[in-house]
Every structure is written in C-alpha cells, then in structure tokens.
C-alpha cells in the first residue's frame, strides 16, 4: 500500500462511520443527533418549551423513541402539544424497587404559594386566550398576605419572596420577557404539574391559613 492509500484510509473510515449513523468513535447509539440532544435536555430539565427551544421539533419527530429510552430509565415523557411543552418525570412503578434519577427540590411555604398564584394566572390567561404575563412587584404584593404565616420580620420575608422568585426563574417556571427587567411569562408546564383539582385543594388550604390568621388578629385587637 502506497502513501496515498494510507492517507485515504481515514476518509474511508469517516465515510463508513457516517453511513452507519455513528456520531463519534465507538458510538453504538441508535438515535440521530437532534433526538439525542432532546433526550439530554429532557434529563437535565426542567422542560422543553416549544416557543423558545428549537429541540421541540425533535421531541415531536422522535416521540416514540424518546419515550422508549426514558422508560428504560424508569422515567416517562410528559408531552402537551397544545401547550407546547414537554418534560420528564419519574414513572409510577408500583412496588418495584427502582432507582430515582431525577433530582427534586423541596418547596418552602412561599414557593408553594407562589406556584399556586402562578398556576391561577395561567388558568385565567388561558381562558382569555393569551399568554400569562406577571410583574415582579405584583407577585410580591400577592404573597404579602401570607407574611404573618411565615415571619414577623418584613425584611426577612421580602428576602424569602425574592429567593422564591429566583428559584422559579432558575427552573424556567418564569421566563423573563425581552426588553423588560421585571415582567415574566409563566411556563405552560404548570398546567401539567398542577391540575385544576390540585389548584382548588391548595387554594382551600391557603385560604384557611389566611382566615385563621385574620381571626387571631381580630382576637388580639379586641384585647
């Protein structure tokens, strides 16, 4: 074999690799590049938003394959075409002893109240046929009614609200609108995470908390 033949060999190997669909050396995967990227994003989380993420089209094209690969990991794909959102959650495996791959973040009381408020804003916006957009100052005002349930320290309470809003932004529950510093769009993924029944149940719990606090305050004022 002459020198020219030796130099041509890597090209032949590369052509064979491309023909086989491999993306790198020793690659035995079956999914094309966009599908793998979508799978990775679903595992990283928190969701794929069809309005902002170019991987949305890959989720739709390779839905069956993605579901199968996630099921291999005891996970399931949650997909809402109308809302344009997809995410992964732990599959209900019953009594099977299975590993839990998805990390969870505990919610504080303020986190829960904020999520409830955002879910309600999303429902109202859907009923009117437009996007759910909220302002940070409005969020602070909406949560202020729970201050006495959490803390009597106003500065400390405001810090908790700021931390909760920051958590929602980090997890893409709130997406900042372009050209604005304090206006956000609420992710439609909340519709899949909290059903209308969940919202009603949570609303009842928090209403009881507010009423109990108001009753306590009335008794204190009468003394």
The enclosing domain of 181 has a CATH number of 1.10.10
Tell me how far apart the alpha carbons of residues 45 and 87 are, in angstroms, rounded to a whole number: 7
Same domain, 68 and 120: no
pLDDT in tens, 58-82: 999 999 999 999 999 999 999 989 8
Q: What is the rounded average pLDDT of the residues 40-58?
A: 87
Inter-residue contact 122 to 188 (CB < 8 Å):
yes
Looking at residue 151, its pLDDT comes to 62
Looking at residue 120, its pLDDT comes to 86
Residues 6+ apart with CB under 8 A from 140: 158, 161
Looking at residue 13, its pLDDT comes to 47
Q: What is the pTM of this model?
A: 0.67
Number of other residues whose CB lies within 10 A of the CB of residue 134: 21
Tell me how far apart the alpha carbons of residues 184 and 178 are, in angstroms, rounded to a whole number: 9
Tell me how far apart the alpha carbons of residues 131 and 40 are, in angstroms, rounded to a whole number: 28
Same domain, 94 and 121: no
Please state, for a pLDDT cut of 90, what percent of the chain lies above it.
23
Which one has a higher pLDDT value, 45 or 28? 28
pLDDT in tens, 171-221: 888 988 888 878 999 988 888 777 767 777 777 766 776 665 554 444 344
Same domain, 150 and 54: no
Range of the domain at 137: 109-222
Same domain, 114 and 218: yes
Same domain, 144 and 214: yes
Q: Examine residue 6 and state whether it is found in any structural domain, yes or no.
A: no
pLDDT confidence bin for 11, thresholds 50/70/90: very low
């Amino acid at each position: 074999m002459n020198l020219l033949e030796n130099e041509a060999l890597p090209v032949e190997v590369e052509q064979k690799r491309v023909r086989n669909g491999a993306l790198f050396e020793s690659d035995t995967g079956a999914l094309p590049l966009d599908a793998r990227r979508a799978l990775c994003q679903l595992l990283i989380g928190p969701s794929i938003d069809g309005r902002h993420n170019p991987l949305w089209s890959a989720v739709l094209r390779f839905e069956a394959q993605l579901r199968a690969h996630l099921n291999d990991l005891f996970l399931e794909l949650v997909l809402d075409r109308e809302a344009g959102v997809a995410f992964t959650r732990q599959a209900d495996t019953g009594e099977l002893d299975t590993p839990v791959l998805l990390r969870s973040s505990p919610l504080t009381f303020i986190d829960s109240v904020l999520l409830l408020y955002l879910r309600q804003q999303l429902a109202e916006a859907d009923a009117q046929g437009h996007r759910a957009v909220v302002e940070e100052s409005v969020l602070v005002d909406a949560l202020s009614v729970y201050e006495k349930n959490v803390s009597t320290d106003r500065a400390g309470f405001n810090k908790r609200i700021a931390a909760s809003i920051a958590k929602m932004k980090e997890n893409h529950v709130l997406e900042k609108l372009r050209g604005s510093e304090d206006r956000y769009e609420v992710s439609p993924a909340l519709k899949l995470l909290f059903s209308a029944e969940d919202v009603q149940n949570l609303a009842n719990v928090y209403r009881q908390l507010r009423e109990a606090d108001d009753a306590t305050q009335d008794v204190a004022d009468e003394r």
